Structure 1
Amino acid sequence: MFKAICTDIDGTLLNPDRELSKRTIDIIRSIKDDVSVILASSRMPAAMRHLQETLGITDQPLICYNGGYIISQKDGIKVLDSVEIPFSLCEFIAQWSHNKKLHAGFYLEDDWYAPSDDQWTKREINNTKVQASIYSGLDLMQSWKSLNKGAHKIMCMGEPQLIDQLVAELYAIDAPLHLYRSKDTYLEIAPLQISKASALNQLLQAELNIEMRDVIAFGDNYNDIEMLKAVGCGVAVGNAKDEVKKIADEITLPGKEDGVAATLEKYFG
């Protein structure tokens, strides 16, 4: 039997209202004392903790920013690993976005800095239930410069052709970054060396003394592929990208139809 469950959130775990269904809450609450339940997402910690509270797993670790920020919450909050986008690249993206009027939000630990209170910021607040600090990218870079801080994630949102241009610019300078498009108007930027798979492996060794083969994991998108391949059982939800389904051990119902809950009921119910 599996000793840990690791699941992506958006597109995988949530219902059509971007919330946890009663079915999902019930099955996880019924097994959480016998098996570790780990959320792994591109989200910031604050956008994951309210889901943990609903599921009753606030003592469980979190894999945030697609593996760039791993935190233990067993005895207070302890950072197990933190990988940032270098300041020079943050500055380049902030300047470019400012000049082209592309919305670029910068995330560091539990802070989200959005350039203005526009439609993109409002949409993200609605999706993640987290408030942004309104701070222009250039001002933020000024405050980070002396500290040599970077970002765990940069989220650019805007017209597809503007995003295309930024991607081309970053490829042209050979930036060591993951450029991940969840849709044509969204570009998530993260350090190249991170992944959910490596973060999960590190977390299991450091915190839980569990092997990857003892984990069942769920996902829907390209950033879940490595994780699903690395665990004992990788499950793609029915709405997953074809490439994800191709490498999965199992395919369940779509996320919006409680695919995660259906599989957990099969194995643990």
Structure 2
Amino acid sequence: MQFKAICTDIDGTLLNSDRDLSPRLKAIVKNIPESIPLILASSRMPDAMRHLQRDLGRSAEPLICYNGGYVIDGEGHVLDSVEISFPIVQSIFALCQGEEIHLSLFRGEHWYEEKEDYWSNREIRNTKVQPTWIPLRKLLDDWESQHLGAHKIMCMGESNLINWLFGELHLNFGDQLHLYRSKDTYIEIAPKKISKASALKLVLEKKFDFGMGEVIAFGDNYNDIDLIQSVGWGVAVANGRAELKAVCKELTLHHKEDGVAASLEKYFG
């Protein structure tokens, strides 16, 4: 089986137990011809993905950021940008006020944090990116005056509070937002009309001369289901959600056991 491109999720899929790229993975990627693009598709912001591209020797590849809400080509040009509208951002901010819920806002190349605490420090460690520190109320005033929205909102806190917030968001904005529960203490929020699959299709149409049927893709979570279903060969890691495993064409090893590297060795080794 021959593929013309590779597309992969990052957290829980590509990274090992140290939240890093394994030597085994880097070795097989080095042996894959550069004519076969390796496209990262994640809920992460661009800079939280670029250092991984550099480590893989693939800095000139497109990036699918914020689960498809912000798509850039290998030269830094924005191919697509879909935001959560300002009124919804403001409503989510208001819901979190007075509750012990940590709110992070993302727009384009920037990650905005109001205070340094357990949650912000955890994300700094995990992503190797520093946020812009700013009072979020001031930031929202600036966005309102410029009619700007967010590409992603992340809410973090104790599981009972996050369960409550998830219910409120689903009730009020379920038809407008994707609500991802990567952990019971997290909600990642994105516009309803975007997906990793639609973003990859756009990248292929704009930059390459082949379609989704010639792509192998890897994932682990709910936000990878459409991607895994839409490509020619969708692969789930062993730690993936049951719903993802049900639609994949191949099940590889756990991400802590180099599942992506094992599959790449099989097809490109």
TM-score range, shorter chain: over 0.9
What's the counterpart of residue 61 of structure 2? 60
Deviations 1:135-165 (A, max 9, x none): 2321211111110110000000001121122
2:227 and 2:151 mapped to 1: Cα distance? 19
What's the counterpart of residue 216 of structure 1? 216
- The answer to whether the aligner puts 1:125 opposite 2:138 as a matched pair is no
What's the counterpart of residue 11 of structure 1? 12
Alpha carbons 1:95, 1:138 under 8 Å: kept? no
Identity percentage over the alignment?
Answer: 55
The amino acid across from 1:210 in the alignment is F
The amino acid across from 1:78 in the alignment is H
Measured on the aligned residues, the alpha-carbon RMSD in Å equals 1.0
The amino acid across from 1:142 in the alignment is D
Matches of residues 165-176 of structure 1 in structure 2 within 5 Å?
A: 165-175=164-174, 176=176
The amino acid across from 2:166 in the alignment is V
Matches of residues 95-114 of structure 1 in structure 2 within 5 Å?
A: 95-114=94-113
What's the counterpart of residue 49 of structure 1? 50
Q: How many residues align?
A: 267
Matches of residues 68-217 of structure 1 in structure 2 within 5 Å?
A: 68-73=69-74, 76-175=75-174, 176-217=176-217
Matches of residues 15-54 of structure 1 in structure 2 within 5 Å?
A: 15-54=16-55
2:104 and 2:80 mapped to 1: Cα distance? 22
Question: Is there any run of 5+ residues in structure 2 with no aligned partner, and where?
Answer: none
The amino acid across from 2:31 in the alignment is S
Shift of the alpha carbon at 1:173?
Answer: 2.1
Shift of the alpha carbon at 1:210?
Answer: 1.7
1:38 and 1:249 mapped to 2: Cα distance? 19
TM-score, length of structure 2 as denominator length: 0.97
The amino acid across from 1:156 in the alignment is C
Shift of the alpha carbon at 1:93?
Answer: 1.1
What's the counterpart of residue 227 of structure 2? 227
Deviations 1:27-58 (A, max 9, x none): 11111413111000000000000000011111
Runs of 4+ in 1 over 4 A off after TM superposition: none
1:14 and 1:194 mapped to 2: Cα distance? 24
What's the counterpart of residue 254 of structure 2? 254
The amino acid across from 2:249 in the alignment is D
Alpha carbons 1:212, 1:232 under 8 Å: kept? yes
The amino acid across from 1:151 in the alignment is A
